[in-house]
């Protein structure tokens, strides 16, 4: 007779759902109920209230080719003539481009 063990009591679920709706951070809710942040996020998602963070705050990756093109524009030369610069380190190219 395997009894199902509930991970979250009704009270715990209500606490995190109401707290989340009130604007409490997931980290604070996790501490309050003694669970991991991932567990609380999963529970909120199952309850249909969790809204994932937007990925618009992720910065755009600048490629070496883009840096070489910027350097070519800065010095007024054709990018093709500087194509071998792509073998340089990204840090060096960023210094030249700035």
Report d(CA 56, CA 25) in Å as an integer: 20
**What residues contact residue 93 under an 8 Å CB cut-off, 6+ apart?**
64, 67, 68, 71, 85
Domain identity same for 43 and 71 = no
DSSP 54: P
In a domain? residue 5 = no
Count of domains for the chain: 2
Q: How many CB atoms lie within 10 A of CB 26?
A: 17
In a domain? residue 16 = yes
In a domain? residue 29 = yes
Per residue of the chain (98 residues), what is the pLDDT tens digit?
Answer: 567 778 899 999 999 999 999 999 999 999 999 999 999 999 999 999 998 877 665 567 788 888 888 889 888 888 888 888 888 888 888 888 88
Provide the domain limits for residue 90: 64-97
In a domain? residue 59 = no
pTM value is 0.53
Domain identity same for 47 and 15 = yes
Report d(CA 39, CA 30) in Å as an integer: 8
């Amino acid at each position: 007779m395997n009894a199902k063990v509930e991970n979250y009591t009704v009270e715990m679920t209500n606490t995190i759902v109401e707290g989340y709706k009130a604007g409490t951070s997931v980290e604070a809710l996790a501490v309050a109920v003694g669970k991991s942040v991932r567990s609380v996020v999963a529970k909120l998602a199952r309850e249909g209230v969790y809204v994932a963070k937007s990925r618009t705050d992720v910065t755009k990756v600048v490629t070496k080719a883009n840096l070489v093109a910027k350097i070519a524009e800065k010095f007024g030369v054709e990018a093709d003539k500087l194509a071998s610069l792509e073998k340089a380190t990204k840090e060096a190219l960023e210094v030249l481009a700035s």
